[in-house]
Amino acid sequence: MDKLLEIKNLSVRLLTAYGVARGVRGVSLSVGEGEVVGIVGESGCGKTLTAKSVLGLHNAERAEVRGQILYRLKSGATVDLLALKQKELQKIRGGEISMVLQDSSTALSPIITVGRQMEDVILAHSGVKRQEARKTAVGLLESVGISEPEMRLKCLPGELSGGQLQRVCIAMAISSEPRLLLCDEPTTALDSVTQAQILALLKKLSKERNMAVLIVTHNFSVVKRICDRVYVMYAGLIAESGTADEVTQNPRHCYTQDLLKSIPRACEKGRLESVTGALPDVYGDIAGCPYAPRCKSVCEDCLKDISMRGYSPTHFAACIKGGEPDD
Ligand SMILES: Nc1ncnc2c1ncn2[C@@H]1O[C@H](COP(=O)(O)OP(=O)(O)OP(=O)(O)O)[C@@H](O)[C@H]1O
Ligand code: SF4
Ligand SMILES: [Mg+2]
């Protein structure tokens, strides 16, 4: 599969009153055309900072972003998004790459109708008249499964449910026909039935439009449900990556194994194990495996530099106890 996005050794350092926070310490990942890729990890591991880096959404005065974010444009040319000027990046935002934020209620103005906000987004990246934009908005709401779209467009965001709002945000994000959709925890605030519906919708849109999706989540069940491949993040680094099946059925990194043991499974009885301890200090340096202080299998060698080991052509983990390669 051709690479659409390739992040190489990304680091994000945030300048704060307490010092320099090392939110992302060296992330490399890729997303193929039309592929659904997950970034999974616990709160604070650097998922959002990584996703935001793709669209250059950091405060330029307070964030130092290093590395390369290579993106292949519709024209076939590859650009480094980190090297682009704001004006050039602005053309790519919305046009080629869109983002759905974690909390849809904050993404919309509460005092402007959903229709007006959708039309404004459509007008911003197309040359159509407002009446045409309204028709497009109706079609988009239909495509994300909202019933009676004309009526919903007249509503204020507060008059829609959380699930409907999230569908509206997805509709707005896909209105420019992006080739890559970034989704930051798109289902966290939703009940499990609505969650499943939104994830199914994202998968369907990805297939229908050959749209790649990079989905950020702390939840492995999201990965199992829709991702082709997944990157497990820990302390601003990639701990493991592979196809969703490889990582969820045969995890090689102790952190991935512990995370998987902590998720509830339908029809299974027994106690869930929680991952004890906390992430390393974001202001400090890390020597050796960052998971060592929490790992039950830690040994002296874990305190040396740990490199990524391959278990199959697609499966990699940075753990010395990952075992033998796959057959
Ligand atoms: N603007 C900022 N200033 C200082 N530190 C920050 C800033 N933004 C993020 N961080 C720190 O960088 C680390 C990674 O943050 P990030 O938001 O990427 O985490 P996350 O994996 O998305 O977590 P969550 O699942 O809670 O959303 C965290 O320790 C966070 O406190
Ligand atoms: S490298 Fe060592 S400390 Fe790190 S996860 Fe593997 S066994 Fe645990
Ligand atoms: Mg986040």
Indicate whether 228 and 297 sit together in one domain: yes
From the CA of 41, give the closest atom in ligand 1.
21
Report how far ligand 2's centroid is from the alpha carbon of 322 (Å): 9
Side-chain-facing half-sphere of 157: CA atoms under 13 Å: 19
Average pLDDT over the chain reads 92
Indicate whether 87 and 193 sit together in one domain: yes
From the CA of 24, give the closest atom in ligand 1.
14
Indicate whether 78 and 187 sit together in one domain: yes
Nearest CA to ligand 2 atom 1: 319
Predicted confidence (pLDDT) at residue 262 exceeds the cutoff of 90? no
| Residues contacting ligand 1 via CB (< 6 Å) | 14, 16, 21, 23, 41, 43-49, 218, 282
The most confident of the ranges 105-114, 171-180, 236-245, 267-276 is 236-245
pLDDT of residue 231: 98
Average pLDDT over residues 64-90: 94
Do 42 and 279 contact (CB within 8 A), yes or no? yes
With a CB cutoff of 8 Å and minimum separation 6, the contacts of 319 are: 239, 240, 252, 253, 254, 255, 289, 291, 306, 309
Average pLDDT over residues 265-279: 66
Indicate whether 48 and 165 sit together in one domain: no
Ligand nearest to the CA of 239: 2
Indicate whether 199 and 277 sit together in one domain: yes
pLDDT by residue (tens digit) across 101-117? 877 678 899 999 999 99
Q: Which residue has the higher pLDDT, 127 or 178?
A: 178
Q: How many domains does the chain have?
A: 2
pLDDT of residue 1: 75
Phi, psi of 235 (to 5 degrees): 50, 45
Q: Show the domain range for 148.
A: 109-177
pLDDT of residue 124: 87
pLDDT by residue (tens digit) across 16-49? 999 999 999 999 999 999 999 999 999 999 999 9
Q: How confident is the model at residue 86 (pLDDT cuts 50, 70, 90)?
A: confident
**Which of 139, 156, 177 is at the close of a domain?**
177
Predicted confidence (pLDDT) at residue 264 exceeds the cutoff of 90? no
Does residue 322 form part of some domain?
no
- ∠ CA 81-83-85, nearest 5°, is 90
Does residue 260 form part of some domain?
yes
pLDDT of residue 93: 85
Report how far ligand 1's centroid is from the alpha carbon of 94 (Å): 24
pLDDT of residue 131: 92
Average pLDDT over residues 221-226: 93
Indicate whether 92 and 209 sit together in one domain: yes
Does residue 104 form part of some domain?
no
3-state SS assignment for residue 169: helix
With a CB cutoff of 8 Å and minimum separation 6, the contacts of 105 are: 157, 162, 165, 189
pLDDT of residue 69: 98
Q: Which residue has the higher pLDDT, 111 or 327?
A: 111
pLDDT of residue 265: 60
Sheet holding 237-243, edge to edge: 97-100, 180-184, 212-217, 36-40, 229-234, 237-243, 316-317, 309-310
Sheet holding 19-32, edge to edge: 19-32, 3-16, 63-72, 78-80
Predicted confidence (pLDDT) at residue 128 exceeds the cutoff of 60? yes
Identify the CATH number of the domain in which residue 236 sits: 3.40.50.300
Q: Give the DSSP H/E element, type plus range, for residue 46.
A: none
Does residue 101 form part of some domain?
no
From the CA of 218, give the closest atom in ligand 1.
25
CA 230/CA 247 separation, integer angstroms: 7
Predicted confidence (pLDDT) at residue 268 exceeds the cutoff of 70? no
Work out whether strand 237-243 and strand 316-317 pair parallel, antiparallel, or are unpaired: antiparallel
Predicted confidence (pLDDT) at residue 278 exceeds the cutoff of 80? yes
Q: Residues of the chain with pLDDT > 70: what percent?
A: 96
Does residue 114 form part of some domain?
yes
Q: Which of 51, 49, 43 is nearest to 21 (CA)?
A: 49
Do 228 and 36 contact (CB within 8 A), yes or no? yes
Total residue count of the chain as it appears in this document: 327
Nearest CA to ligand 2 atom 5: 254
Of the chain, the end-to-end C-alpha distance in Å amounts to: 23
Average pLDDT over residues 244-269: 85
Q: Which residue has the higher pLDDT, 283 or 273?
A: 283
CA 287/CA 43 separation, integer angstroms: 21
